[in-house]
Structure 1
Amino acid sequence: MGHLCKLIASVFIVFSLTGCVKKEILDDISLIEGIGFDYIDEKNILGTVVIPVYLPDEAPRNNIYSAKAEIKKSILQDIQQQTADPIVTGSLSVVLFSKKLTEKVGILPLVDPFQRDPGVGSGLYLAVVDGETKELLGGQYGVRGNATYISKLMEHNIKHEDLPKTNLQLFLADFYQEGKTPYIPQLKKIGKDKMKINGISLLKYGKIVDFIPSEEMFFFKLLVDKYSEGLHKVEIESGGEAAVRSIHSSHKYTLTKREPTEITIEIEVDGIINEFTGQELTPKKIHELQQQFREDIQKECLKLIQRFKDKEIDPVGFGHFVKTQTRNFDVKKWRENHYKDLVVKIKTDVKISESGVIE
């Protein structure tokens, strides 16, 4: 009897608490899944939202709404006047900024409301668009809605390709972290139903200051993230090109000297050759491929690091790393003096095994 009373009391409490929560019926609200911002002038932007309409036995229809607003004011109020149901941001998965807007105004005034909105998840993807976000969001991509397509594109390229981990939480962590330059991917529309990640935008105080094209993203990811899967092509002088797949990588930073600061980066890469264009793939060829891959990594990574130093940006996070190794770290001195004199050495261990189709 005592157990029955406890059960009844528990059920009563649950229903009492449930009655205190604001209820929203999905059929009576408009769920925003994607939003984009385009530049109009120094004070005004054009905001565009994607609200999917789910139909039985059909792909969702992408309803697109746009409104002009001042940069520091929300566009949602104006867009709300165009929709029949209340707008909700709980399903928001992507926020896009046109390249022009990011260069002229910066994204910080627009990112701030999303970090304050309790309905927005920290896994939200941010991206720059080479072109207008309204045009990109107005395309037809896949069968699950445009915003879902973009978020899946990001997810796939993080897990299997050359895009380092990125989302709202990581962007804000890099922005507020002393000694680190934040970055987000850049998208480009390449057809009515196609888009691609064509590089990575590096941001300083919310504005684009540099751009890593797609052909350099592999080496950038080796420096800032790790591969669980991946692909890279290696060409050798004696003839032949190998597609190295299933790449696994890791890196380790060591502070090896002070005044001037010297950091050694150890990069380990494991991969499998499953395509080779050339003559017989002998052990000698595999050794040559490993050596060439090692040299490519050292050369391209050091080239990127030198470029970052010349532009006085630090997307790798050397400043943050040195700060963790230094008592009473002075970030001002680091930026003004020590970073430009930083010496970086790269040690690379590449292991490649033979497997798959040889052409």
Structure 2
Amino acid sequence: MKSIYTAISILCIYLLLTGCVKKEILDEIYLIESIGFDHSKEKSNKGMIVGTILYPIYQPDQPPKNKTLTAEAHIKKSVLQEIQLQSANPIVTGSMEIVLFSKELATNEGVLELIDPFQRDPAVGSGLYLAVVDGEAKELMEGNYGIRGNATYFSNLIENNIKNEDLPKTNLHKFLFSYYQKGQTPFMPQLKRISKEKVLLNGICFFKHGKIVHTISPQEMFFFRLLVDKYSNGLHRVKIDEGEAAIRSIRSVHRFKLTNRFPKEVTVQIKVHGIINEYTGTKVTPKVIDSLQKEFEKEIDEECKKLIESFKENKIDPIGFGHFMKTQIRNFDLTDWTDSQFQNLIVKLEPDVTIAEAGVIE
């Protein structure tokens, strides 16, 4: 009998608690899927931020319509308040997929003050994507990309390039971790509008003190990922005298080793496995495979060293050498890491490429 009373009491408490939850009907709210930030073009509004929200309007048996609302303000919360004055329904952030920053804004003003409210908002997940726009965020958001809505297109574009191409893993959580982690520099992918129906991932932007200080091209992204992430499925083309090969199904891992303390020296071991999917020569022989492996190793060594030198020149450390040194040397001081110590760090590469088999031959 006592157990019955206990069960009834628990049920009553559950019903009371569920009754306290605020109800929101989907047809009566606007679910923001993306928000973009630009500089104001008006001279009279110098220092103002243009915020653009993107939300879908769902219709029966039709793709969702992409709707945008724009307002100007000094801070992100004020932007949403200003946009709310234009909206017939409440604006909700619980469906956010991506936040976009114009490159001009991210370079001149920085993004930290704009990102901060998102990490404090319990309705926003840490898997939220962040991206820089090579151009205006508002213009990018006003296109028409795919049948699932623009925000979903942007997030799928980034997710696909993480899974199958050369973009290292990135999201709000990883950006903030790298920013607050001493000895490591945060980065974001860069998107560019090609037309009203096409968007291109055209590089990676690196930040220092919340502002963009350096950008790498899509051609450099492959080698950057070898240094900071692993490949589970990739593609790279290698040229030798006998022909050109497309090496697919690339899998890679990297490992850092502290090989000297005075002067400080780090060796990066990079192991790459792949198969030849296409080859423009006549026949894939063991000699050809050996030549491809050596050329690929040479290319990795040269291009990765160029990247590291460019990071030193810009006084950033997106690879995380400083964080690695902190884990290897007790009481290691990172105060002047990117400005001084990183410049003197000797980095050696040990690439090891294995081509397991050959596929289609042209």
Per the normalisation by structure 2, the TM-score is 0.96
Indicate yes or no: 2:197 matched with 1:193: yes
Partner of 1:138: 142
Amino acid at match of 2:358: S
> Which of 178, 181, 187 is the equivalent residue of 1:177?
181
- Contact 1:127 1:184 (C-alpha < 8 Å) held by counterparts: yes
- Contact 2:312 2:338 (C-alpha < 8 Å) held by counterparts: no
Residues 229-252 of structure 1 show CA distances to partners (whole Å, capped at 9, x for unaligned) of 11111111x221111111111001
> Which of 275, 286, 289 is the equivalent residue of 1:286?
289
| Greater shift in the superposed pair: 148-157 or 328-337 | 328-337
Q: CA deviation at 1:13?
A: 2.7
Q: CA deviation at 1:334?
A: 3.0
Partner of 1:94: 98
* CA distance in 2 between partners of 1:301 and 1:37 (Å): 33
| Greater shift in the superposed pair: 76-85 or 2-11 | 2-11
Q: CA deviation at 1:19?
A: 1.4
Indicate yes or no: 2:340 matched with 1:337: yes
Amino acid at match of 2:26: L
* CA distance in 2 between partners of 1:333 and 1:207 (Å): 19
1:303-314 matches, within 5 Å, as 303-314=306-317
- Contact 1:43 1:71 (C-alpha < 8 Å) held by counterparts: no
* CA distance in 2 between partners of 1:2 and 1:54 (Å): 51
* CA distance in 1 between partners of 2:16 and 2:242 (Å): 75
Residues 117-137 of structure 1 show CA distances to partners (whole Å, capped at 9, x for unaligned) of 111110010000001111100
Amino acid at match of 2:145: Y
Partner of 1:295: 298
Partner of 1:13: 13
- Contact 1:50 1:63 (C-alpha < 8 Å) held by counterparts: yes
> Which of 348, 352, 355 is the equivalent residue of 2:351?
348
Unaligned runs of 5+ in 2: none
* CA distance in 2 between partners of 1:304 and 1:60 (Å): 42
Q: CA deviation at 1:259?
A: 2.3
Q: CA deviation at 1:6?
A: 4.7
Equivalenced residues, count: 358
Indicate yes or no: 2:206 matched with 1:202: yes
* CA distance in 1 between partners of 2:336 and 2:199 (Å): 43
- Contact 2:259 2:267 (C-alpha < 8 Å) held by counterparts: yes
Partner of 2:163: 159
* CA distance in 2 between partners of 1:257 and 1:108 (Å): 36
In structure 2, relative to structure 1, the CA distance for the partners of 1:334 and 1:63 (3 Å cut) is: closer
* CA distance in 1 between partners of 2:4 and 2:245 (Å): 70
Amino acid at match of 1:253: F
Amino acid at match of 2:18: T
- Contact 2:315 2:339 (C-alpha < 8 Å) held by counterparts: no
> Which of 74, 86, 89 is the equivalent residue of 2:78?
74
